[in-house]
Structure 1
Amino acid sequence: MQSQISEVAIIVIAGTVLVLFLLLFLVSFFYIFQKRQLQNRQEKTILQAQFSQEILKSQVEVQNATMQQIGQELHDNIGQLLSVAKIYLNILEGTKQKEEDKEYIKLTNEIVGQSIHDLRALTKSLDGDFVEQFGLQESISHELQRIRKTKKFQTEISILGEQYPLGFDIEIILFRITQEVLNNALKHSEAQNINVRVHYTTDNFLLCIYDDGKGFNFDRVNTGILHNSGAGVRNIQRRTELIGGDFQIETGADKGTKIEIKLPKPSITADSSQT
């Protein structure tokens, strides 16, 4: 009788152990399955983000190449035609003319000369090589100077901290962002003053652009209600994310607009690779 009880006990224990092993196997299998699913989702998200970044990077490169080509065409063709026209006007100005005609010729000559000067400034603005040669700070200063010459806006740039290189790929995108922000301010802000602050800190690089214009409702823009108005802001956000930066905007009705781009300071290796 006792042996039968022992056998039953052994069977119960063995069955219990078997069930426990089976449960352990099922739990382990479920855990591994869930972990792999999570890993697959994470990998898919990373791949999608990388793909989006590559698409945006390609768009930036194409846009930069297109702007550079347009600038070159303006310089080579329109610039040359204006230069030839100025030569003819100089010749005409030196010939005998009525006083009234001389005044018109002189005025036309001055207008053509100013057009040549403005065209050169514009081609520099379009040319990415200008950023590579003179750097971000000088390129932004040049852009503000071009805006100031319209006599519709007062512009100012302030540089804080000890300057360090960010790398051409980052600087050209920051410059294009600056151009887009300034262009939006020129078209929509109704501002009188546009200020740019470039701040080099030990940990971060900060680019701040602000105007004293009418501002706008950012929530409506960001949610797509004002789709056309929001396209520029969303484009700036995407470009900032492309270079690993943070984007912030402060605006409101009659409060002006302030846009800040924040980037981590490049590593020493990244700095040295650019020199």
Structure 2
Amino acid sequence: MQTSISEVSILTIIISTLLILVLVGMVVYYLFLYQQKRFLHEKQVQELHDTFTQTLLQSKLEIQEVTLDHIAKELHANFSQLVSLININLSTILPHSSDEAREGILETKSLAKQLLLELKALSASLNTDHIMHIGFIAALNNELNRMAKTKKFNVTFSKTGEEYRLRPEHEIILFRLCQEVLNNIVNYSQAELVTAALNYQEGLFELEISDNGIGFDAGEVTKPESGKASTGLLNIRKRAALIGAEVMIESAPGAGSRVSIRIPSAATT
């Protein structure tokens, strides 16, 4: 009788243990399903956020391009015309001017001519259709030449590899990105030497822009949460993300700066 009771107790313990194990297994399984669903949900939310952010940035850039095109047309149609009229008026006045005034008028005509050339160059750099027509390399070369003409910078530009075109919309974004880089150099670097180097490889486009200026703490100014974050450098990264480009910004106080851009073959035509 005692043996029978012992067997029943053992059997009860075994069944209870199995039931507990089954319950634990079910709890673990449902926890796993919950974590998996939570992970998928968070992933979907992040993807939606990234898509929204990218779409918003793309919209901002499209609006910016429309605005720049409008400014470019205004510069070409109105301001350039006004400068041309000033030059014509000066030419009319010149024959009737005294010898003393003649030199000043000629100098003013020269300045007006230079201003007209600068306005045309600026208008071209803002005009999206013009950039798409002449291509990224010619547009970048024009920007570098404008820098060189200021006599403040010694500019070098080199290319290696067999040249090819990127997608037109990518060339526009890349050019605006380069304008941002060059604008930072002009305004903040105090550099004397600016170097741009293009490297065309099969399946990879590389561009490097460097200067010998005062430099900056790259770690601080590229952190969004940093109080010293540079809006220009953050915009460079955002623009690069739109075309699948990898951007490396290297700099240190007193050591100049270097911006490297790499675009994989998926971004090329």
Q: CA deviation at 1:102?
A: 2.2
1:38 is aligned to 2:39: yes
> How many pairs are equivalent?
266
Residue of structure 2 in register with 1:237 after alignment: 237
The answer to whether the 8 Å contact 1:166/1:266 transfers is no
> Offset at 1:266?
2.4
Superposition pairs of residues 164-183 of structure 1, within 5 angstroms: 164-183=164-183
Who is 1:53 aligned against? 54
Match of 1:165, SS state, is coil
- C-alpha contact 1:86 1:113 (8 A) present in aligned 2: yes
Q: 1:25 to 1:225 in 2, by over 3 A?
A: closer
Indicate the larger mover: 9-18 or 251-260: 9-18
Q: What is the correspondence of 1:113-262 to structure 2 with a 5 Å cutoff?
A: 113-223=113-223, 224-227=226-229, 230-262=230-262
Provide the residue aligned with 1:80 in structure 2: 81
1:92 aligned residue: 93
Q: Which residue of 2 aligns with 1:69?
A: 70
TM-score relative to the length of structure 1: 0.87
2:106 is equivalent to residue 106 of structure 1: yes
The CA deviation string for residues 54-79 of structure 1, in whole angstroms up to 9 with x for no partner, is 12112222222212211111111111
Root mean square deviation, CA, Å: 2.3
Segments of 5+ residues of structure 2 without an aligned counterpart are none
- State how far apart, in whole Å, the 1-side matches of 2:198 and 2:239 are: 18
Q: 62-71 or 209-218, which moves further after superposition?
A: 62-71
Percent of paired sites with the same residue: 33
Distance 2:204 2:17 in 1: 61
Runs of 5+ consecutive residues of structure 1 not aligned to the other structure: none
- Per-residue deviation, residues 168-223 of structure 1 (Å, max 9, x unmatched): 22111111111111111111111111111111112321111000111112233234
SS in 2 for 1:266: helix
Could you say which residue in structure 2 is the equivalent of 1:265? 265
Cα deviation for residue 29 of structure 1 reads 2.2
